[in-house]
Amino acid sequence: MHCIEREPRRTKSEELIHYAQNKKVAQINVELLGLSEDPNLQFLLSGGDLLKVRSSSWKKTRFYKLREDCKTLWYESHKNLRPSNPTFTVEDIAAVRQGRQTEGLRKYTDEKVEGRAFSILFKSRRKNLDLIASSEVEAKQWISGLEKLMSNMGKLTHQQKTEHWIFNCMRKADKDGNNKMCLKELKSFMRHINIEVDDDYAQLLFEKCDTSKCGYLDGKEIEHFYEILTHREEIDVIYGSYAKTGGMMSAEDLRNFLIKEQREAVDLNHALTLINKYEPDDTAKEKKMMTKDGFLMYLHQPEGLIFNPAHKSVYQDMTQPLNHYFISSSHNTYLMEDQLKGPSSTEAYIRALLKSCRCVELDCWDGSDGEPVIYHGYTLTSKILFKDAIKAIKDYAFKTSEYPVILSLENHCSVEQQKIMAQHMISILGSALVTKPLGHQIPTGFPSPEELKGRFVIKGKRLNKLEDSFTTDASTTEDIVSEEEESGDDAKEEDQKPKKNKLKLAKELSDIVIYCQSVHFHGFEDAKDNLGFYEMSSFKEGKALKLAEESANPYIHHNVDKLSRIYPAGLRTDSSNYNPVPLWNAGCQIVALNFQTPCAEMDVHQGRFLPNGLSGYILKPPYLRDRATEFDPVTLTRGPWLQHKTFHVMVISAQQLPKVNKKKSSIVDPLVRVEIYGVNIDVAQKETEHIDNNGFQPMWNATFQFDVYVPELALVRFVVEDYDSTSDNEFVGQYSLPFTSIQCGYHHVPLLNMNGDLLPSACLFVHTMILDEEPQPS
Report the catalytic residues: 331, 376
CA distance 499 to 417: 18
Check the CA dihedral 157-162-168-170 and report its sign.
Answer: negative
Is 64 assigned to a binding site? yes
Is 18 assigned to a binding site? no
Size of the chain in residues? 778
Is 74 assigned to a binding site? yes
420 phi, psi to nearest 5 deg: -65, -40
Is 38 assigned to a binding site? no
250, 288 contact by CB (below 8 A): yes
Is 725 assigned to a binding site? no
For the chain, the distance separating the N- and C-terminal CA atoms, rounded to the nearest angstrom, is 44
Buried b (16+ CB within 10 A) or exposed e, 613-627: bbbbbbbbbebbbee
Q: What is the DSSP letter of 611?
A: T
Q: Write the burial class of residue 482 (CB in 10 Å: 0-12 exposed, 13-18 middle, 19+ buried).
A: middle
- Strands (DSSP E) found in 454-584: 456-460, 479-482, 502-505, 516-518, 535-540, 564-567
Element (H, E) at 328: none
Is 332 assigned to a binding site? yes
Is 59 assigned to a binding site? yes
CA distance 754 to 719: 11
Cβ-proximal residues to 24 (8 Å cutoff; 6+ apart), any chain: none
590, 566 contact by CB (below 8 A): yes
Is 69 assigned to a binding site? yes
Strand pairing report for 699-708 and 684-687: unpaired
Is 642 assigned to a binding site? no
Is 391 assigned to a binding site? no
Is 257 assigned to a binding site? no
Is 534 assigned to a binding site? no
Is 78 assigned to a binding site? yes
Is 540 assigned to a binding site? no
Is 56 assigned to a binding site? yes
642, 670 contact by CB (below 8 A): no
Is 285 assigned to a binding site? no
Is 328 assigned to a binding site? no
CA distance 770 to 749: 17
Proportion of the chain in helix, strand, coil states, percent, rounded to 5: 35, 25, 45
745, 613 contact by CB (below 8 A): no
Is 55 assigned to a binding site? yes
How many separate helices (H) and strands (E) can be counted in the chain?
23, 31
Is 530 assigned to a binding site? no
If we measure between CA atoms, which residue out of 655, 631, 650, 651 comes closest to residue 641?
631
Is 61 assigned to a binding site? yes
Is 722 assigned to a binding site? yes
765, 234 contact by CB (below 8 A): yes
Is 482 assigned to a binding site? no
Half-sphere exposure of 80 (CA within 13 A, CB side): 0
- Integer CA distances (angstroms), 605 to 200, 563, 618, in order: 47, 18, 12
Is 450 assigned to a binding site? no
Is 408 assigned to a binding site? no
The string of DSSP codes covering 331-399 is SSTTBSS-TTTPPB-HHHHHHHHHTT--EEEEEEE--TTSS-EES-TTS----EEHHHHHHHHHHHTTS
Cβ-proximal residues to 216 (8 Å cutoff; 6+ apart), any chain: 180, 181, 182, 210
Element (H, E) at 87: strand 87-89
Is 140 assigned to a binding site? no
CA distance 29 to 44: 13
Alpha helices in 551-588 (DSSP H): 552-561, 581-585
Is 72 assigned to a binding site? yes
Chain mean position to CA 586: 25
Is 58 assigned to a binding site? yes
Is 75 assigned to a binding site? yes
Q: How would you classify residue 439: left for phi > 0, otherwise alpha for psi between -120 and 50, otherwise beta?
A: left
Is 57 assigned to a binding site? yes
Is 528 assigned to a binding site? no
Cβ-proximal residues to 505 (8 Å cutoff; 6+ apart), any chain: 411, 415, 418, 461, 462, 463, 478, 479, 480, 481
420, 370 contact by CB (below 8 A): yes
Largest Cα separation within the chain, whole Å, is: 98
Crossing angle between the packed helical segments 386-396 and 415-429, to the nearest 10 degrees = 20
Cβ count within 10 A of residue 41 = 24
Is 67 assigned to a binding site? yes
Q: Which residues are annotated as a binding site?
A: 52-79, 332, 361, 363, 410, 459, 461, 538, 565, 667, 669, 693, 722-724
Binding site, annotated residues for Ca(2+): 332, 361, 363, 410, 667, 669, 693, 722-724
What residues form the annotated binding site for substrate?
Answer: 52-79, 459, 461, 538, 565
